[in-house]
């Protein structure tokens, strides 16, 4: 980890505050947190929650990524190698509307479908370097197919690859690139023959809004995504459950920032839990959403943390422990849960 990554969020907030010519009292007046709270965060004595970082970033007129120290770079070739793929990924995403002439014909759609499946698995397992190395070529080849044939299948596969690109960029801290990938995925979704994909594009946008503290607009997007959704098939039901799960976290963070009460978050969570129980026991992972009872339970602990109900978070974590030890839980999910619980 390099020096910038080791630097605490509190140090970055203090630097940005001083750059704006603000005292701690001045920042407190702008972000609606107490001066003592700000002082404790800056000294590293209190955790900088997502709601606090979003409020501070808005008050300081900076992007939250600046306060988080993103993108997260390493200080050795091995630690930093995943970032080497970002320039090529940018080029691949800009080529979506006008794919370049390839030196050789693109692989056929069956081969590319297999590649997308591997990329999805690697993404869930947090194998970011492997994803970054293979994803740009897949994006370009699928764009060539989609524009040449107009095949709904090609657009569906391109949408899936773009979703992987958005996830990779967001996790590494390139929020601008994630936004580009999400917008591209929305275009591909509209050209597919799957009515659920445009809804998932809105869900992705809501996740990006969550990273910048736009809780209420994010909730509005999720509500829009659920309008008229067909839940008679398991795939649509999983999408509906995922929408409620995203709404639960958005509502919890909105509550932490002084908006609606905690009951909104728990209502969405209970809806998601009931929907997960209605899915077939061996249902596939629809759209790589990881919508299943274990992931829903993990989100329950996260909601409690966001609401600062740490006793409830610890209780839920204890109930989760046997499931967290089972093989098959994606590394990214496990890591995210551990980060959440470190705040409890």
Give the pLDDT score at 1.
Answer: 46
Token digits of residue 262: 């905690």
| CA separation for the pair 286, 123 (Å, rounded) | 15
330 is a domain residue: yes
- DSSP code for 81: G
- By CB atoms closer than 10 A (0-12, 13-18, 19+), residue 49 is middle
Domain C-terminal end among 163, 193, 223: 193
Q: Are residues 110 and 178 in the same domain?
A: yes
292 neighbors 280 (Cβ within 8 angstroms) = no
For residue 26, which of 60, 52, 58 has the smallest C-alpha distance? 60
CATH number of the CATH domain containing 26: 1.10.260.40
The rounded average pLDDT for each run of 10 residues, N- to C-terminus, in the chain (344 residues) is: 67 97 96 94 92 92 92 75 90 86 91 97 92 96 95 97 96 92 96 97 93 89 96 96 96 78 90 96 91 95 93 94 83 85 84
Is 33 inside a domain boundary? yes
d(CA 120, CA 175): 20
Angle between helices 128-149 and 109-124 (to 10 degrees): 150
Same domain, 207 and 177: no
Flag whether 340 is in a domain.
Answer: yes
Contacts of 59 (CB under 8 A, 6+ apart): 27, 30, 31
Q: For residues 140 and 236, state if they share a domain.
A: no
Neighbours of 91 (CB within 10 A): 13
How many CB atoms are located within 10 Å of the residue 219 CB?
Answer: 23
290's CB contacts (< 8 A; 6+ apart) are: 124, 330, 333
Distance of alpha carbon 228 from alpha carbon 138, whole angstroms = 33
Question: What total of structural domains would you count in the chain?
Answer: 3
**List of residues 6+ apart from 222 with CB closer than 8 A:** 202, 203, 206, 243, 246, 247, 250
Q: How far apart are CA 169 and CA 180, in angstroms?
A: 10
**In CATH, what number is assigned to the domain containing residue 337?**
1.25.40
Closest CA to 289 of 222, 200, 223: 200
Residues 230, 245 share a domain: yes
pLDDT at 97: 82
> The domain containing residue 124 runs over which residues?
78-193
For the entire predicted model, the pTM comes to: 0.88
Domain boundary among 23, 50, 68: 68
Q: In a 3-state reduction of DSSP, which class is residue 270? A: helix
> Which of 193, 279, 271 lies closest to 233, judged by CA?
279
Question: Prior bond to 238 cis, omega within 30?
Answer: no
Give the pLDDT of residue 228: 94
- Whether residues 186 and 199 fall in one domain: no
Distance in angstroms (rounded) separating the CA atoms of residues 339 and 332:
11
Residue where one domain finishes, among candidates 22, 43, 68: 68
In a domain, 73, yes or no: no
């Amino acid at each position: 980890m390099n020096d910038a990554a080791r630097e605490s969020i509190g140090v970055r907030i203090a630097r940005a505050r001083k750059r704006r010519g603000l005292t701690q009292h001045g920042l407190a007046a702008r972000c609606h947190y107490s001066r003592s709270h700000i002082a404790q965060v800056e000294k590293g004595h209190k955790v900088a929650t997502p709601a606090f970082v979003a409020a501070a970033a808005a008050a300081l007129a900076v992007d939250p990524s600046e306060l988080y120290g993103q993108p997260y770079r390493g200080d050795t070739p091995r630690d930093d190698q995943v970032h080497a793929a970002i320039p090529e990924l940018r080029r691949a995403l800009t080529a979506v509307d006008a794919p370049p002439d390839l030196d050789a014909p693109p692989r056929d759609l069956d081969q590319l479908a297999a590649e997308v499946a591997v990329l999805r698995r690697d993404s869930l397992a947090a194998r970011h370097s492997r994803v970054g190395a293979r994803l740009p070529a897949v994006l370009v080849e699928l764009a060539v197919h989609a524009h040449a044939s107009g095949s709904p299948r090609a657009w569906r596969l391109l949408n899936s690859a773009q979703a992987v690109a958005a996830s990779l960029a967001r996790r590494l801290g390139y929020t601008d690139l994630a936004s580009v990938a999400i917008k591209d995925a929305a275009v591909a979704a509209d050209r597919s023959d799957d009515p659920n994909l445009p809804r998932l594009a809105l869900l992705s946008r809501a996740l990006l809004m969550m990273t910048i503290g736009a809780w209420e607009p994010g909730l509005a997007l999720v509500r829009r995504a659920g309008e008229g959704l067909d839940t008679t098939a398991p795939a649509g039901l999983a999408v509906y459950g995922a929408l409620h799960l995203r709404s639960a976290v958005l509502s919890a963070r909105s509550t932490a920032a002084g908006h609606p009460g905690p009951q909104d978050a728990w209502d969405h969570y209970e809806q998601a839990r009931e929907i997960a129980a209605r899915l077939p026991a061996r249902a596939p992972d629809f759209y790589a959403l990881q919508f299943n009872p274990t992931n829903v339970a993990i989100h329950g602990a996260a909601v409690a943390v966001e609401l600062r109900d740490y006793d409830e978070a610890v209780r839920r974590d204890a109930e989760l422990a046997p499931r967290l030890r089972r093989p098959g839980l994606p590394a990214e999910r496990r890591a995210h849960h551990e980060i959440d619980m470190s705040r409890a």
